[in-house]
Structure 1
């Protein structure tokens, strides 16, 4: 059964089907139903939970926003349900800035709005959302999108206020006014709330660790189920499904579409079709991350030899990528520029591809900022991006705060170099064609240097082989 709007049996007349309806799924209610549906229900106790752990952190984030925009009315919408097809919607996920500023995460209500109302000494902040309907209203039983008869219990204003430690009001009381600043419409506000996430607080870091820990279990699951993937005509889907089960059981789901790219598919950077075979002797590149219920996500890539052991050529490529990742990690120090992490990885990629005779120039010439780049054919993407409540977090931050920004304690970012030799690339020897390798880890910058949050997931070629042998027993 779907839960879209056309499941709504909204016509309260008796008798014939609804006239001039665009769907034959709407039917009238019999009079007996209308006479009895609002009676015979037990009282619902008003629950006022203790504040959730994120509440004080969200309060501090709101205070920072308030201080940055004195005298301005600010509107931060959660967003609405998005149509998947006809009368079905995608699972709702609130806008990341809304979740960050409210602490309302996987349980947030669609169409909610966080409003900063200017006062003489700052802002009064109110969270507007659709209060649950009384059972005497038609919304309760007739609206398949929000009615509790269809989707289950919804939160009350008082309960959310206690949970999130923010004033609440019914969505019907919210009204836009002239001159207010809307998220994603006002450039300054959109930029500020994005840059606010560049430095993670203690709650966020703990959630990132949680997401990485669940993701590690998901990779263990994949290795255990690789024989089933090999046996299936669409083995990549088996890998995707195994990880999805872990993500949904222990988290909110995946933070992004899983890439399960086996053989030549590993050379396609965003291969999410995942409909190919998994063949012994090939590599399978799995880029996957669990999103915790708080909406913070991991982003991990491991490249596995399907048969459990790397060939000589595969190992050479793999260990080169690891060398690049280790160089990037070593370059990540407090006070250096974010883009210098990428430069360190590319120095290794240029050196090795030149050494293998793949470049028409020297490694030094390839690294020239203006006339080089020949090595980028085999690694076209960047080495790092910020990570957090979005998999590509802080994307609206200014360049001088992001790529040209200074590494600071509290930043969380990826290190993910790779080498990709596409199956039809005539610039490389036949033995390399169809090999794609990426190694991706999630890094926390601290005063004492970088910490690899995903270090417990095996990384070296020897460690990967031992890991697979242990889990496949």
Structure 2
């Protein structure tokens, strides 16, 4: 990290010049500009409906005030990274600029959107860009980028002329929130001291945000797929004798970030040796006993959308883990077959019922205790909720209560947990100290779009709704997968068609002596590589040699293998001396 030598540069931050945003391409968000516009329109319609039905003032003017996050600093000149935008602000604008404010003024007929931005605060744009990168300072261009009517310097917020007798919609938490620009927000709010004020703006926004659009579903689907792959690779690459939790955390973060534009949605939990009983354990620096259970709770952030998943790696206390897995499956099955209203509160109650049932069946809970006492015990053993919304925040739409009916477009987690304290006398001592949870992310969608997403092979029929398990891609225990067909399907589910995944499928089927299917996969891998704009010929020849090997095994001799290779020389590489030499070398190796 470089220190700023000329402190006058930093001190000049108090001398305001022109508005700016860091260079930004809203198309990179995965959400269209029209969708951001539609979100603002939907919020305005909700406000109008509220004013008409609750305030009985349909013709009244209204003002919506929504601030962005401020950039937080670890110390002088050192900002926390990556910057996390205030989710409601991002939902309505797509803007990632810190310290901005969105103001929407309207009535029952029209509305306008205004974005207030900080001014560029160095002596020149060139000076700023030398330190922080390209900017956009043209107000009209900024309006076009975000589909906003007008852009103002943020210091003009306090003097902006407002419609007369406006009802103010904001969120009272803004007053105490350390992550927003209170310097500009608080004086502005004081202008409404004699007005009607609704301080629950977030409740309107969360009712909108809880229903994910098709574009949002695709983003969450993608981040869940990538996180699943990171989990699996972490399991594969962490040796059974791994010594410390921080090594698992480091491996998981590496596996996430190497997949592309991913960051951590939250600080991961890596809890070994019963430390999962600390539900939000975060030290991640303790030693791991041999053959001990390791619980990894982690999630990724992709284009501002989150995933949240939990798996365990290995455990001697298999019996309890199987109970937890059964409860998890039963909850999914219930949603699959339910013909009544479903809520997260109902899922919580069902999880408790299932847990009591299976713990009793395994004689972990006494069959003689009455139902009320059993419920009290379960509240100790299962203190966490079974589900939460997922989206721009890991615990998304916090104002959507557990009693609310789940609807198409909701993305929620299913995460039963079992935490047995060492001090619990109601279970045998052998089980005390066990703690684990299983977490999957699911989407409820309408029946009429079944065909549009069926191709993902992640669908379960669900009366007039349908359930998509984003995390069918991550099996309960990767190390338990023995059946070849299941392994092949597993690879199909988690990876998009690619040279690597198709070759892996070819390898699986080849070693199972399913030669015809292996040839299909290898040929598909070859076709994918040859379609690439940057062909890797080492891959091409490796695949050719794999195909030749399949022919040899299929026919029981090397004649077919050599014939295939000689045919390549006579057709595809007849004018390519270098590549022909590579194939001749392979033929010599076969005969040798």
In the TM superposition, 1:291-370 aligns within 5 A as 291-293=301-303, 295-305=304-314, 310-311=315-316, 314-332=317-335, 333=338, 335-355=341-361, 356-358=363-365, 362=369, 364-366=371-373
Is the alpha carbon distance of 1:360 and 1:273 closer, same or farther for their aligned partners in structure 2, counting shifts above 3 Å?
Answer: farther
CA distance in 2, matches of 1:423, 1:112: 49
Match of residue 267 from structure 1: 277
What does residue range 47-196 of structure 1 map to in structure 2 within 5 Å?
53-54=30-31, 55-70=33-48, 71-91=61-81, 92-104=83-95, 108-118=96-106, 121-130=109-118, 132=120, 137=123, 141=127, 147-156=128-137, 157-172=139-154, 174-176=156-158, 180-183=168-171, 184-185=173-174, 186-196=198-208
Map of 2:575 onto structure 1: none
- Deviation per CA, 1:59-114: give whole Å up to 9, x if none: 1110011123342111111110123245533222110101111123xxx1111111
- How far has the Cα of 1:254 moved from its partner? 1.2
- Decide whether the 8 Å contact of 2:234 with 2:252 is kept in 1: yes
Give, in whole Å, the separation in 2 of the partners of 1:288 and 1:419. 18
The SS at the match of 1:260 is strand
Structure 1 residues 27 and 379: alpha-carbon distance in aligned structure 2, compared to 1, 3 A threshold: closer
Aligned residue number for residue 251 of structure 2? 242
Q: How far 1:163 sits from its partner (Å)?
A: 3.3
Q: TM-score, normalised by structure 1?
A: 0.77
Q: Quick one: distance in 2 between partners of 1:318 and 1:102?
A: 44
Describe the shift of the 1:52–1:240 C-alpha distance in structure 2 as closer, same or farther (beyond 3 A): closer
* 1:9 has 2:19 as partner: no
- Structure 2 distance, partners of 1:238, 1:208, is 27
Contact 1:50 1:162 in 2 (8 A): no
Q: Distance in 1 between matches of 2:481 and 2:369?
A: 32
Query: Within the alignment, does 1:214 sit opposite 2:226 as a pair?
Result: yes
TM superposition shift of 1:433: 2.7
Q: Which runs of 5+ in 1 are unaligned?
A: 13-25, 29-45, 142-146
Structure 1 SS opposite 2:106: strand
Offset, 1:361? 6.0
Matches of 1:168 and 1:65 in 2, distance apart? 19
Aligned with 1:218: secondary structure?
helix
Q: Which residue of 2 aligns with 1:377?
A: 380
Matches within 5 A, 1:457-468: 457-459=474-476, 463=480
Task: Measure how far apart 1:256 and its partner are.
Answer: 1.2
Counterpart of 2:444 in 1: which secondary structure?
A: strand
- Residue 457 of structure 1 deviates from its aligned partner by 0.3
Higher helix share: 2
Structure 2 residue 474 is matched with structure 1 residue 450: no
Q: C-alpha separation between the residues in 2 aligned to 1:265 and 1:465?
A: 30
Cα separation, 1, equivalents of 2:72 and 2:296: 28
- Kindly name which structure, 1 or 2, has the bigger radius of gyration based on alpha carbons: 2
Extract unaligned runs of 5+ from structure 2: 13-22, 49-60, 175-197, 447-464, 492-503, 509-592
| 3-state SS, counterpart of residue 297 of structure 2 | strand
* Aligned partner of 2:216 among 189, 204, 211: 204
Shift of 1:159: 4.6
* Mapped contact 2:62–2:107 kept (Cα < 8 A): no
1-structure distance, mates of 2:224, 2:24: 33
Whole-Å separation in 1 of the counterparts to 2:27 and 2:77: 37
SS in structure 2 at match of 1:324: helix
Label 1:161 to 1:464 Cα distance change in 2 as closer, same or farther (>3 A): farther
